[in-house]
Structure 1
Amino acid sequence: MLVSRKNFVFQKLVNTLLEHIIKNYKVDDSLPSDVVLANQFSVSRTTVRKAVEYLEELDILVKSGATKTLIAMPNSEHFFDVSKQSKPKEKLVEEYFLTLIQHGKLKPGDKFSELELARQSDTSTVAVREFLIRFSRFGLIEKNPRSQWKMKKFDEAFVDQLYEIRHLFEMHSLSNFIQLPEDSEYWQQLNDLFIEHKNLSLKMETCYDDFPRLDQKLHGLLQRAHPNQFVNEFYDIISFVFHYHYQWDRSAERERNTLAVQEHLDFIGKMLMKDYRGAAVALERHLNTAKQSLKDTAML
C-alpha cells in the first residue's frame, strides 16, 4: 500500500520533522539518515522517505545521495492541519479506507492486513477490525486467515436489493426535509451546497473527481436533518457501496460525475423552491441513474 499525502501518519511525521528542524537545526546543516529518523520517530523508512521528498518539494532541504542538507527554515504555512485526528478512530479508518478505494488504491481482489490499515490510517488494530467486521456483513470484503482481508465484487441482485433500501431511506428523508421550518439551519446548508455544485459544474473538465465529496455531503445532509440512528447506520453502508464502485471503471468517470452534478442541481433547486413533487421526481431520476451506473460497473 502506497503512502499517500492524505495519510495521517505521513502528515504527522512532516509536522514533527518541521518542528524538529526549527528547534534543532539551521540552514546548511545536514539531517540524519532515513534509518535514524525512522527509529527516532517510530515510523517506517518508507514514510520517512516520502516525508523527506515532500520537504524537498517545499524547498526546505535538498538531497545529494544519502545527504540531506537544510536550505531554508520552515514556516507555519508548511504544516499540515491534523485537527481532524480528534475524530473517533473508527471514523478515521472509514474515511481513509474510502479514500483508498476512490483513488484506486484498493480494488476487487486486493488483499490487505489489519495491521497495515491501522498503521496507514494512524489508528488501532481494534478500530480497524471493528470497522472491517461491520462492513464484511454486507459482502463487500471477506476475512482471510491471519488478520488478512480481501476486497470483493458484488452482483446485480445485490445492487437491486441495495437500491430498494436506498430509495426508501432517501424518499423518507426528502419528505421530512421539505417540512423543515423556514429558519432551519439546514436550508442554508442546502443553499451552500447548491452553490458548491454550481461552482463544480463550471470546472468539471478538470475537477470531476471532486464530485464524490459533494455527493456524500448532500445525501448526508438529508439524513442529518431528521436523524434516525437505524437509518444512519444503514445509510453509512449504502453510501460506502455507491462510492465503492467508482474504482472499477474509471474510463467514463467524468461523464458520470458531470451528469450526476446536473441531477443534483435539479434536485436541490426543486427543494429550495419547496417543490416536493418536482424534487421527488428529480431524486427518483438521480437514484435510478446511480443504480444503473452501479450495475454497469458491477458487471465488468
Structure 2
Amino acid sequence: MANPRRKESVADRVYEALKEDIFEFRLIPGDRFSEGDVGTRLNASRTPVREALYRLQREGHVEVLFRSGWQVKPFDFQQVEELYDLRITLERAAVHKICNLPEEPAALRTLVALWNPDHPSERAVGSTVRMLDESFHCDLVAAAGNREMTRIHREITDRLRIVRRLDFSRDERIDATYVEHAAILEALRNGQASEAADRLTRHIRASQKAVREITMERIREAAAAHRSEQ
C-alpha cells in the first residue's frame, strides 16, 4: 500500500517545480504539455503530477485542454487590470477607515519602523522585499479592522502574486517602494486620509505599470528563447 504522506510530498514537489517554471517563464503562457511530459521530467508518477496540476488549475495558472493535455494559461491583462482596480478601491477605503479610528493601530507603528530604516544598507533585498511589500499592503487593510475587506484583499493579493513579484527585479523599483511606502505612512500618521489614499493610488499604479512592462518583456524574451531551441 502506498504511503499517502510520500504521495503528498511528491505532489508538493511537482507543484513547486511547475509553479517556479511558470513564474520564471521557463513555461510561458500558451505552452502545452502532457502529464507524461511532466512525470518524465520530474521523475514522478501520474497521480502526484495530476494532483499538482489540479492545484495549479485552481490557482489559475494552468488549464486542461480537451484531449490535448494541459496548457499554461494565456496571460489575461484585462483581468489583471480589473484586479488592480479592485485592490486600489479596497486599500483606499482601508486608509480612510484607519484615519477615523480612535487610536493609531499598533501595526502602523511597526510599518513605520520597517519602511524608514536608519541607513539604506538596512533595506531588504530580493525576494524579501517582495514579501515585505505584500505584507505592507495586507497589514494596512487589516489595520482598518474589517475582516471581510481583509479576506477579499488577501484573495486579490494571491491572484496578483505571479505578476507583482516582477516589480522587485529592478533596483529602482525597490528604491521607489521604500520612498513611497514611507510617504504613505507619513500621511496616515498625520491623519491626512485623502493625501494618504492618493499617494497609495499613485504607488500602486506605478507598480502596475512597471509590472506590465516587465511581464511583456519577459514573455517576449522567453518566447524568443523557445523559438531558438526548436
Which TM-score applies when normalising by structure 2?
A: 0.63
Contact 2:167-2:207 at 8 Å conserved across structures:
no
Q: How is 1:193-204 mapped onto 2 (pairs within 5 angstroms)?
A: 193-199=111-117, 202-203=120-121
1:104 correspondence with 2:21: no
Aligned to 2:226: none
Contact 1:270-1:279 at 8 Å conserved across structures:
yes
Distance in 2 (alpha carbons) for counterparts of 1:159 and 1:245: 9
SS of equivalent to 2:199: helix
1:218 correspondence with 2:136: yes
1:227 correspondence with 2:146: yes
Distance in 1 (alpha carbons) for counterparts of 2:127 and 2:71: 25
Q: 1:150 Cα shift?
A: 4.5
Q: 1:203 Cα shift?
A: 2.9
User: For residues 175 and 209 of structure 1, do their structure 2 counterparts lie closer, same or farther at Cα, with a shift above 3 Å needed?
Assistant: same
Q: Deviations over 1:11-31 (max 9, x none)?
A: xxxxxxxxxxxxxxxxxxxxx
SS of equivalent to 1:142: strand
Distance in 1 (alpha carbons) for counterparts of 2:184 and 2:24: 29
The residue type paired with residue 196 of structure 1 is L
SS of equivalent to 2:79: helix
SS of equivalent to 1:214: helix
Distance in 2 (alpha carbons) for counterparts of 1:242 and 1:230: 17
Q: 1:289 aligns with which of 172, 182, 206?
A: 206
Distance in 2 (alpha carbons) for counterparts of 1:222 and 1:108: 33
SS of equivalent to 1:143: strand
Distance in 2 (alpha carbons) for counterparts of 1:211 and 1:259: 12
RMSD of aligned residue pairs (Cα, Å):
4.4
Rg: which structure is higher? 1
Distance in 2 (alpha carbons) for counterparts of 1:102 and 1:180: 42
The residue type paired with residue 139 of structure 2 is L
User: For residues 247 and 178 of structure 1, do their structure 2 counterparts lie closer, same or farther at Cα, with a shift above 3 Å needed?
Assistant: closer
Structure 2, unmatched stretches of 5+, are 40-47, 218-230
Q: Deviations over 1:206-250 (max 9, x none)?
A: 7243211111211111232333436623x2343234431256687
1:280 correspondence with 2:197: yes
Q: How is 1:104-253 mapped onto 2 (pairs within 5 angstroms)?
A: 104=24, 108-109=28-29, 131-136=55-60, 140-143=61-64, 150-182=71-103, 187-199=105-117, 202-203=120-121, 207-225=125-143, 226-229=145-148, 232-233=151-152, 235-245=153-163, 253=170
Aligned to 2:225: none
> Which structure's residues are more often helix, by fraction?
2
1:270 correspondence with 2:187: yes
Contact 1:155-1:299 at 8 Å conserved across structures:
no
The residue type paired with residue 229 of structure 1 is E
Q: 1:188 Cα shift?
A: 1.6
Q: 1:156 Cα shift?
A: 3.7
Distance in 1 (alpha carbons) for counterparts of 2:118 and 2:25: 25
Farther-moved stretch of structure 1 (194-203 vs 206-215): 194-203
SS of equivalent to 1:182: coil
SS of equivalent to 1:159: helix
Q: Deviations over 1:47-81 (max 9, x none)?
A: 9xxxxxxxxxxxxxxxxxxxxxxxxxxxxxxxxxx
Which TM-score applies when normalising by structure 1?
A: 0.50
Distance in 2 (alpha carbons) for counterparts of 1:194 and 1:104: 32
Aligned to 1:255: 172
